[in-house]
Amino acid sequence: MKIFYLFIFCFGFAYSQNQVLDSLQTVLKTGKEDAKKVATLHRLNNELINHGKYNEALRLLDEEYKLAEKLNLQREIIESLIAFGLAYNHLSDFKKAMEYYEKALIIATKNNDVNPIGLIHLNIGNVYFDKGEFPKTLEHYFLALKFMTQAKSKGGIAKAQANIGIIYAQQKEFKKALEMFLESEKNAGEIGDKETVSISTDNQGVIYKQTGHPDKALELYNRGYKFYEESGNKKMMAISLSNIGGVYYDEGNLQKSLEADLKALALRVEIKDEYSEALSLGNIAGTYLDLKKYDDAIVFCKKSLALASKLGSLNTLAGSNQMLSLIYQAKKQPKEALECYKRYISARDNIFNEDNTKKTVRLEMQFDFDKKEAASKLEQEKKEAISLAESKKQKIIIWSVCGILILVIAFAIFAYRSFLEKQKANIAIIKQKEIIEEKQKEILDSIRYAKKIQTALLPTEKYIGRNLDKFW
């Protein structure tokens, strides 16, 4: 019997070919101490992390962080701290990972930088997942989704949805899980994020496998493995191999299942991914149990248990103890089997107890409420914006009408004043005309009067003629 099925995580970093590492290292040799060098260091560190070179990344991250602080580049400081946390998380040093994530979260919150806040919550959720604390995991995944939505980051939303789907799948809520994975694939596809699309389709494979569609699951796993192999991503290659091994196991092909799990284990040991290594050891122990190779099964299972205890991972502790109990039962060692079974029940109850289930439901309800409230707020803001626009439009119309009325009144006053002025001018002209006519009349009267006097004083022609005749 196989207990362990590994689900797939999204961490938010892109994967690329090995030659990118060489080219970035070449750029660093000639780069000045400026923002460009910080960006180059960050890309290089992401590539190192993606290729499982965590300790090498940690050394360069120290240089990146110090230079970012020296130049006071706030976003770059946050990104460096997140990368530190990611590297330590891969090395299964959860305590240090959390220290760096929390430090990054304080700075990002102070700066109200919602995009990195979402990514930090996503990675904090991953730490809690590795520790088997699923309610806290889900709490941070929902917070990641909330802040990624605020930042309008489709890539971040897709990653948060994929990780929430993983928790639903762990709790056997396969319908909810599949819905989340399909939404994740859709959002990632819209921005051309092939890595997250591949992760989401692989996760769908987990659901198909669990719901009795192994052929579909195997098709998706093999597609994912090919993508990760081409990109040189050993962590994701190991996950695909582990899932492929699970399908072969269910089909009864134990040899092929063992081969896939051993390959996955080798990759995990190489990149020092102890959490995933513990899961592979458990998978291999389960296969050896079915092959009736009990001593080999005990060896691998105890190694898994030791790593789980070291890491404090509740879900791996539960699986390891359950597996060991089954092996001891097969070996007819009931006392040891019972002790392991009790430890399994204790770890399992800590993960899936009633309080934790209630917390999960509350988280879902809170997220749905926040989502509806945000939608309602957005709708109200739209209405207020429309109302404000209408109000402004009305004010513009009112002021325009008022302006036109003022112009009309001003024109009317001007026209009336012009009319009055014209009237006054006409009256003045009429008076002037009357005066002139009066003067003309007076002059004419004077002329007539003078003519009359002149006529009266001068002798007539007849009178002059008679008098002239007297002289002659």
What local confidence, expressed as pLDDT, does residue 193 receive?
Answer: 87
Among residues 306, 316, 309, 328, the alpha carbon closest in space to that of 283 is found at 316
**Could you tell me if 69 and 77 are in contact, meaning their C-beta atoms sit under 8 angstroms apart?**
yes
Among residues 120, 129, 195, 209, the alpha carbon closest in space to that of 158 is found at 195
Question: What DSSP state is assigned to residue 353?
Answer: -
What local confidence, expressed as pLDDT, does residue 363 receive?
Answer: 56
Find the length of the chain. Answer: 472
Burial class (CB in 10 A: 0-12, 13-18, 19+), 355: exposed
Q: Which amino acid, 163?
A: N
What local confidence, expressed as pLDDT, does residue 4 receive?
Answer: 46
Q: How far is CA 331 from CA 141, 321, 322, 328, in A?
A: 42, 15, 14, 5
**Could you tell me if 92 and 274 are in contact, meaning their C-beta atoms sit under 8 angstroms apart?**
yes
CA distance 179 to 249: 26
The angle subtended at Cα 31 by Cα 193 and Cα 67, nearest 5°, is 80
**Could you tell me if 8 and 246 are in contact, meaning their C-beta atoms sit under 8 angstroms apart?**
no
Mean pLDDT by 10-residue block, N- to C-terminus, for the chain (472 residues)? 47 41 58 83 86 87 92 94 93 92 95 91 92 87 93 92 89 89 92 86 86 90 89 88 92 94 95 90 94 95 92 86 93 93 86 54 54 59 69 76 77 72 71 71 68 59 56 48
Residue 427 is encoded by which pair of tokens? 């009256």
Radius of gyration in angstroms for the set of CA atoms belonging to the chain, rounded to a whole number:
47
- DSSP conformation letters of 293-319: -HHHHHHHHHHHHHHHHHHT-HHHHHH
What local confidence, expressed as pLDDT, does residue 244 receive?
Answer: 94
What local confidence, expressed as pLDDT, does residue 157 receive?
Answer: 94
Q: For the chain, which residues make up each domain, given as ranges? A: 18-293, 294-352
What local confidence, expressed as pLDDT, does residue 449 receive?
Answer: 67
Q: Is the CATH number 1.25.40.10 carried by domain 18-293?
A: yes
Residue with tokens 């990149």: 271
